[in-house]
Structure 1
């Protein structure tokens, strides 16, 4: 196809000294592996896009915004393939970048700024889900300096403590699941000290974890994260190490299974709630909805990711593959979604 494509991604930068959600071992240094890992696949993604498009360029984003604007203008792409999740490691800028594309009058893949900002905020996401009667775990958000009043918890232990405005499982470890007040206060203090942002305390749903990838108006085959190999004393959750640290216990013992082994009745229920969440948050083109199943197989939406990892070994790509879509065709589909709308179009992909 005779279209000029620009792949935009964020230059990998480590904003924090610690991404693990627990103390580093002595003399251990740590960088943000989530950003570094994806940036290493850009050349491969470029080659895959070149199978379908005549001109493909790449551009790493940083704070030199005037240089970024000039580069985009000089390339003058028909579509930007948007993989920017942060600027200098700060995820708050993820939603700002799409506004820049719109001001420049350039179509781009994926979700628009309002959706990205709402989904980055776990609090706002849960408020929107609740307003649409979509099941999500109970929660309480604490501002940076807000004192915990346990009388306001209205939840029973165990609970899980997360950063309120981060993705990629940053700050999540085996210590995130807390069994009593002492553990709760300890983890809140740790997150505040290391990340200096608000935290969210959630009801912990003990059960299976299902990833639901949605492409356009189609729900792709469900994928389950299996925790069978984890030691008994490790909570069955997706930690930062589970995603990004190949030598860790979590990484080695959290194994994806696609398609997930669920009954047709349960699959339909999961697909329905995921699609409702997709629409409630105003997603378009693609997103991943993460769901926990209670012991009674009640699905709870724990997160909506509007800019999910689509590196070649990601869960989204795995689900697309089981649906019969190879990697280059998946990328082509995302570009075609963008080509088929106006540059300033910020409407939902599916009207709910």
Structure 2
């Protein structure tokens, strides 16, 4: 059997750089080495692409607080417009081995927002996960919420303000509509980066300033009291949902540290203790949200479940974490899909979508 060549692109310039390193490590360890040859491409915090060796691509690999990309002396450039050998070694100008598919596990800005997906599409490389449109939609929480609402899916009430409209953010007016406590978030970030839970005017002003450090648009949302439920979705045209899981934070809310660094920051109930009918409802809403936002391949849908059984979608994460404490792969394991099999399916879905795209005409007349 001929092995497929899989390029794992990881790291990146975003605030979630270290999370991406952990995700890549777990994918490399879980991928079936009898089926796939792996090419590792690490993006440093300055945006430079490094061709890495599996034996030495990470420093402090077992410590989430100290983990680092081990920068190589071999840098990678991408050549658009080619049908093969789209990647070259920058120093030698030699073609790198042709990739069959790319697993772009770059979380956050410039990796999860459609930017990297657009580059890979221009380079004619199949890649895991949603394409450009759904990636960019889901990254912008305001736009995603508008589309979810239009599809009849419950979301928290809130407001969005750009930096240019910052002077219109009046604490008293916001409290009158949303009450306290409330959440302040950068519109285009993930993993709780820059998120604050606030109850006073002083906390509000600090939270607004913190959110604007990460984005030019912030969202202010009501606090929905409920259980934190997550559901993994897998598929292209006919997506399926995993059993739901529950986050039981040991801190005030599920912060970046709780998700990726402090294994004691939260307990994970996998699967969540829910009645069978409610499990089906959560799964259906997860698939509906996935479809409404035109996702493909994979996504993790995060919910709030109220005491009255109302289901609110908090966000849809198109490149969820694959760390050792991440919900996405854990939920599929408990649903009957092992980590290696999950990677197989994601690669198959990426190639399936790419083949479907190739059937589309790209010119009205003349050569294509």
Q: Compute the TM-score of the two structures, normalised by the length of structure 1.
A: 0.80
Matched, 1:123 2:142: yes
Alignment of 1:56-205 (within 5 A): 56-61=38-43, 63-64=47-48, 67-69=76-78, 71=87, 74-85=96-107, 90-91=109-110, 94-145=113-164, 146-147=166-167, 148-149=169-170, 150-151=172-173, 154-172=177-195, 176-192=196-212, 194-195=213-214, 197-205=216-224
Q: Secondary structure at the match of 1:154?
A: helix
After superposition, give the CA deviation of every residue in 1:323-348 in whole Å (9 maximum; x if it has no partner). 2222111111111112223357399x
Contact map agreement 1:112 1:346 (CA 8 A) in 2: no
Higher strand share: 2
Q: Secondary structure at the match of 1:185?
A: helix
Matched, 1:223 2:245: yes
Q: Find the aligned partners of 2:224 and 2:159 in 1 and give their Cα distance.
A: 15
Contact map agreement 2:304 2:311 (CA 8 A) in 1: yes
Match of 1:274 among 283, 286, 289: 286
The structure-2 alpha-carbon separation of the partners of 1:345 and 1:209, relative to structure 1 and needing over 3 Å to count, comes to same
Unmatched tracts of structure 2, length 5 or more: 50-74, 80-86, 89-94, 360-368
Give the CA deviation at 1:79.
1.1
Q: Find the aligned partners of 2:302 and 2:295 in 1 and give their Cα distance.
A: 14
Q: Secondary structure at the match of 1:221?
A: coil
Q: Find the aligned partners of 1:124 and 1:344 in 2 and give their Cα distance.
A: 27
Aligned residue pair count? 312
Q: Find the aligned partners of 1:49 and 1:77 in 2 and give their Cα distance.
A: 16
Q: Secondary structure at the match of 1:268?
A: helix
| Bigger CA radius of gyration | 2
Contact map agreement 2:135 2:318 (CA 8 A) in 1: yes
Give the CA deviation at 1:3.
4.1
Question: Pairwise CA RMSD of aligned residues?
Answer: 2.6
Higher helix share: 1
- Counterpart in the other structure of 1:257: 269
- Counterpart in the other structure of 2:10: 10
Q: Compute the TM-score of the two structures, normalised by the length of structure 2.
A: 0.77
Unmatched tracts of structure 1, length 5 or more: 16-31, 348-352
Q: Secondary structure at the match of 1:141?
A: strand
Q: Which has the higher contact order (CA 8 A, sep 6+)?
A: 1
The structure-2 alpha-carbon separation of the partners of 1:299 and 1:43, relative to structure 1 and needing over 3 Å to count, comes to closer
Give the CA deviation at 1:41.
5.4
